[in-house]
Amino acid sequence: MKVGLIGDSLTEGRPGVSFYNVLKLQYPHISFDNLGNPGETIKSLFTRLEKAPLQSSYDLLIIWIGVNDVYSKLLKVQAQPVAKDHIEFEEYCLKVVEKAHAASKNVVLVSPALVGEDLQSHSNKEIKDLTSVMESIALKSGNIYFVNMQNIFKEHLEHLECSGFINTNVIRVLLDVLFYKNPLRIDKLSQKRGLHLTLDGVHLNSKGADLVAQQYSSIIELYKDEGDKIRRF
């Protein structure tokens, strides 16, 4: 079985704790391709797939994208272009899905989780809007499996006292990549910042990585149970 994981730094696994590493340990006999690219937005992902089409044929292709279309607006430096509005986001998301279907008939679209653990923030309201766009694409297509990752994170956070911390300093993000590689150190810094599932409001700590890995595992098990084609949205 071959599974492709497309996305941004959350998929790549830096900074923070890598859910990909959790999956590899859980499924040693599955071949995973980690196609995460730091800073990726929906527009830059389309450009990447346009310039370098997916070469492999995957049993499952899971796309987790969208957080940088919100998060990068808070940073002083934007590494990649972001969608100017929800209409453009939808247009590029449809193009990305089309590219993905060329490499797998089982495409899974995962919504962004959060930007900061304050669920009522403006950024998380934007995430909710993008989630609705992605859900609509999956519903209309009939051939995409959709995962609402924001709701999954919300279920774990809504009854907790959450910090408003978001790391918007690019240098600080890079320092987190360089100096916080051990999960224990990552979790300690996360706790110091008053966070529950993330290192910095976006990237994952151990609990967040386990939560994402559980969702991906559910998708893999669904595919194994249902055979050649997993049930749709």
Give the residue carrying structure tokens 């279907």: 101
- Those residues whose C-beta lies under 8 Å from the C-beta of residue 103, and which sit 6 or more positions away, are 4, 53, 54, 55, 56, 57, 58, 61
Q: What is the pLDDT of residue 230?
A: 67
Q: Per-residue pLDDT for 228 more than 50?
A: yes
Q: Mean pLDDT over all residues of the chain?
A: 95
**Rounded Cα–Cα distance for residues 15 and 231 (Å):** 33
Is residue 21 within 8 A of residue 48, CB to CB? The reply is no
Q: What is the pLDDT of residue 233?
A: 46
Peptide bond into 15 cis (omega under 30): yes
Q: Per-residue pLDDT for 231 more than 70?
A: no
Q: Per-residue pLDDT for 79 more than 90?
A: no
> Residues 135-144: what's their mean pLDDT?
93
Give the residue carrying structure tokens 């957080």: 67
Local confidence band at 89 (pLDDT 50, 70, 90 cut-offs) = very high
Q: What is the pLDDT of residue 76?
A: 78
CB atoms within 10 A of CB 159: 7
Percent of the chain with pLDDT over 70: 97
The pTM of the full predicted model, rounded to 2 decimals, is: 0.96
> Residues 98-119: what's their mean pLDDT?
96
